[in-house]
Amino acid sequence: MKIIGLLKRVSYLIRKHAYSAENWAKYLGVDIGKNNLIGKNHWSSEPYLITIGSNCQLTNCKIFTHGGVML
């Protein structure tokens, strides 16, 4: 079981660094429209609650939901 946990963690880290910012947000569960420019963002512990429309630009943002504050 420890090997499976390790493989999941390694897979998560590879995706985090290999995916574009937009694809990483989608992987986490953020609902994103089309034609967005997303810089390096820090998502809350509940990214599936976030919806971003189309034609938006987010750069150096920290988005928090329901008190999911991470300092």
Which pLDDT value is given to residue 40? Answer: 73
Residues linked to residue 57 through DSSP beta bridges, in sequence order: 37
CA 13 to chain centre: 12
Closest CA to 58 of 33, 8, 2: 33
Residue 54 has what pLDDT? 94
Q: At 1, is the secondary structure helix, strand, or coil?
A: coil
Provide CB contacts within 8 A for 36, sequence distance 6+.
22, 52, 54, 55, 56, 57, 58
What is the model's pTM?
0.73
How far apart, in whole angstroms, are the C-alpha atoms of residue 58 and residue 25? 12
Report pLDDT digits (tens) over 8-50.
999 989 988 899 888 888 998 999 999 998 887 678 888 888 8
